[in-house]
Amino acid sequence: MIVGFTAFVVLNKYNAARVTVQHEAVDVAMIYHLAQSFPESKRDQIQGLAESYARVVVGEEWPQMRQGQTSPRAQALAYDLRSAIQGFKPTTTTEQVIYAQELDAVNDLDTDRVTRLLDVGRGLPPILWIALGGLSINMLLFACLIGVEDTQLHMLGVSALAAGIALVLCTIFVLDRPFGTEFRVGPQPFELVLHEIEGTGQQ
């Protein structure tokens, strides 16, 4: 029961991490495109910071997250992006509307970034891993004690149970680290945003 419940919890965590990355990338794209309505100097500043943030997240922070680390440079760019937006003084009704949308987008970006970074270092508590290990051992010992006259069949059943438990525990380990294994959540949403930005710049 506890093994199945844990697997369910970490699967939800893995899926939530994927959604968070998608939302964060959308936030960057939103900030970039909204800035198009600002005066040229402010537009170029905000768009440049948004693009730089996406590039640093993909090229620098993503590899670091696999080691449980984050990028101070990406964090600094996120801070500079917020400062650049907050430093804009709208003078028209249209600019005021876009400015409010930009503030909402950068607030969402900060929230989604914090959520993503929490997933980098947060995993199942050690006590739960101890419980999972103890339960697995008990299940195997119980299986070994079940009386089956055919020794070969008995060993085959115990081996199958052991393989199944190992597979579930391995799956829990992988899903519990959404940014730290070969099956980690990738930066594809950010890469799509960068591709879109590059396409916009060539027009």
The mean pLDDT of the chain is 82
| pLDDT of 140 strictly over 70 | no
What is the 8-class DSSP label of residue 67?
T
| pLDDT of 125 strictly over 80 | no
Q: Cβ(34)–Cβ(98) under 8 Å?
A: yes
pLDDT at 16: 87
Which pLDDT tens digit goes with each residue over 67-84?
Answer: 888 999 999 999 999 999
Q: pLDDT exceeding 70 applies to what percent of the chain?
A: 65
Which pLDDT tens digit goes with each residue over 8-62?
Answer: 667 777 888 899 999 999 999 999 999 999 999 999 999 999 999 999 999 999 9
pLDDT at 44: 95
* Cα angle, residue 168 at apex, residues 12 and 138 outer, rounded to 5°: 125
Q: Cβ(120)–Cβ(13) under 8 Å?
A: no
pLDDT at 36: 93
C-beta neighbour count of 2 within 10 angstroms: 10
C-beta neighbour count of 129 within 10 angstroms: 16
Element (H, E) at 65: helix 62-65
Lowest mean pLDDT among 31-45, 89-103, 125-139, 160-174: 125-139
